[in-house]
Amino acid sequence: MKEPKVEVGILSEPQIEFVLHAPYRISGKEASGRQVATYDGGKILWNGRQYDELLFEPLQESAAAFELLDVTIGINFHWERKEDQRFQGSLKIIVENGKLTGINVVNVEDYLTSVISSEMSATASLELLKAHAVISRSWLLAQIRKNKELTATRADYSASTRTDEELIRWYDREDHTRFDVCADDHCQRYQGITRASTDIVRQAIAATRGEVLTFDGKICDARFSKCCGGAFEEFQYCWEDVAHPYLAKQRDYPAPELPDLTQEPDADRWIRTSPQAFCNTTDKKILAQVLNNYDQETTDFYRWKVEYTQDELSALILKRSGIDYGQIIDLVPIARGTSGRLWKLKIVGTKKTLTIGKELEIRRTLSSSHLYSSAFVVDRADLSAEGIPRRFILTGAGWGHGVGLCQIGAAVMGEQGYKYDAILLHYYIGAGIDKLYD
């Protein structure tokens, strides 16, 4: 198999400004320097002419780079911001949803070099970086194959079910139909060559070139999150109702055995305490390996607290869901996954009661950006005579969905001397490591 290319959606705007830092070829002509493309009545307006699509290809791929201006990163997160970003490979511009979408067409291994530098600090240990290279490559190639299958069958993995009593909705990466993956946390954080890669990152990519995780002859859907909170979540509690054997229940530590966190008393006890786990660390040296500067603005992610007044919570839920529950009487856990993450939560209000899920829908509804995770318990405080709380305290565990590799746990394992294959097989149970291409 030859090394594939990947199409990465970088930004979607009415106008895209970019700089070609070397000569690029487009429709048999050369272009370089600062450029502007504008959405114009369903077409792309560039250099005074309209186009359906633009493709800028470098004359010398190894030496060329282009820059996209004002790219939004951290979309819907508390640290959302804009920055100029530089990329290797080709630039494709298409019309999509009444805007222009800028797409970077790049070799998989070059893409991975950026992902590893973008997802975590380039100062991370070699074994952690090698492990992350394998899972990022695995997830990407599995995703490309899955998208092709969806296109061929016209299937759609994203879904929701709604009744008067229940709204269960989940989100996956299949909503990209015109490119393979996006560049933000929705897929894998990718910022081109904006953040300088180091020798150790390039060493990790080269040492694992073409390697992927496999199970039963197929590339694994190698999910990962920042911090599992001490226990792995299973795939089906976050996305479609498919159980992947390699994404299974397990404690993020060799012993003792994990309690049954699908049961409310065990989940309550687990979340309110701070059990030993690889990811239970406050070591700044280790955290700096995984968390870039803006991620370090988030603290206390192994166990955390969020407090809302009644007015804050009722207004927040109305704004985020579009549903008027009135005053919030209670947030009732209905169903939890294997890490204690809620995948069904009942919101009881004075005007309406509704059970929502899955985990990301819960996190989006209860935060102006994203709640750290859906592994939380609720305390109601200062009840009125009518039994309506004036305050809600959410005590939670972990950061992200908790499925697959836990980045902070893996960083700790790397510091403790575990090799990358041992790290991978801790988080992807029963998987193997195979080489797809040289």
Residue-wise pLDDT for 184-238, tens only, equals 777 878 888 877 677 888 999 999 999 999 999 999 999 999 999 999 999 999 9
- Residue 414 contacts residue 125 (beta carbons within 8 Å): yes
Name the β-bridge partners of 93.
54, 102
Residue 293 has pLDDT above 60, yes or no: no
Give me the residue label for tokens 């039963």. Answer: 216
pLDDT tier for residue 294 given thresholds of 50, 70 and 90: very low
- Averaged pLDDT for residues 339-349: 98
- Averaged pLDDT for residues 342-363: 97
What are the angstrom distances between the C-alpha of 153 and each of 139, 141, 145, 219, 240?
A: 21, 18, 12, 20, 17
- Nearest-angstrom CA–CA distance, 156 and 71: 28
Q: Which long-range contacts (CB under 8 A, 24 or more apart) does 347-353 make?
A: 347/317, 349/314, 349/324, 349/325, 350/325, 350/326, 350/388, 351/324, 351/325, 351/326, 352/323, 352/324, 352/325, 352/326, 353/165, 353/325
Least reliable range by pLDDT among 81-95, 172-186, 325-339? 172-186
- Nearest-angstrom CA–CA distance, 403 and 229: 11
- Nearest-angstrom CA–CA distance, 113 and 75: 22
**What was the pLDDT predicted at 59?**
95
Least reliable range by pLDDT among 86-95, 106-115, 283-292, 320-329? 283-292
Closest by Cα among 140, 116, 282, 263 to 203:
116
- Nearest-angstrom CA–CA distance, 331 and 276: 28
Least reliable range by pLDDT among 105-114, 161-170, 268-277, 287-296? 287-296
Residue 116 has pLDDT above 90, yes or no: no
- Nearest-angstrom CA–CA distance, 124 and 410: 11
Instruction: Look up residue 101 and give its two tokens.
Output: 């979408």
Q: Distance of alpha carbon 154 from its chain centroid, rounded?
A: 24
Instruction: Look up residue 349 and give its two tokens.
Output: 């209000």
| Chain segment 170-195, per-residue pLDDT in tens | 877 556 788 999 887 778 788 888 77
**What was the pLDDT predicted at 158?**
56
What are the angstrom distances between the C-alpha of 15 and each of 11, 22, 103?
A: 10, 22, 14
| Chain segment 136-165, per-residue pLDDT in tens | 999 999 988 877 766 655 455 557 788 889
At residue 305's C-alpha, the angle toward residues 301 and 310, to 5°, is 145
Phi/psi class of residue 145: alpha, beta or left (left: φ > 0; alpha: ψ in -120 to 50)? alpha
| Chain segment 371-400, per-residue pLDDT in tens | 999 999 999 999 999 999 999 999 999 999
Closest by Cα among 126, 122, 104, 130 to 190:
104
Could you tell me the pTM of the whole model?
A: 0.85
| Chain segment 15-58, per-residue pLDDT in tens | 999 999 999 999 999 999 999 999 999 999 999 999 999 999 99
Q: Say what percent of the chain tops pLDDT 70.
A: 93
Burial 327-348 (b: 16+ CB within 10 A, else e): bbbebebebbbbbbbbbbbbbb
**What was the pLDDT predicted at 157?**
53
Residue 75 has pLDDT above 90, yes or no: no
For the chain, the average pLDDT equals 91
**What was the pLDDT predicted at 252?**
98
Name the β-bridge partners of 6.
106
Give me the residue label for tokens 């592994």. Answer: 375
Helix ranges, 84-242 (H)? 108-119, 126-153, 199-207
Close Cβ partners of 407 (under 8 Å, ≥ 6 residues apart): 119, 120, 132, 224, 225, 226, 227, 290
pLDDT tier for residue 290 given thresholds of 50, 70 and 90: confident
Q: How buried is residue 108: exposed, middle or buried, by Cβ count under 10 Å (0-12/13-18/19+)?
A: buried
Least reliable range by pLDDT among 157-161, 283-287, 412-416? 157-161
**What was the pLDDT predicted at 151?**
60
- Please report, as a single letter, which amino acid is at residue 225: S
Close Cβ partners of 49 (under 8 Å, ≥ 6 residues apart): none
**What was the pLDDT predicted at 105?**
97
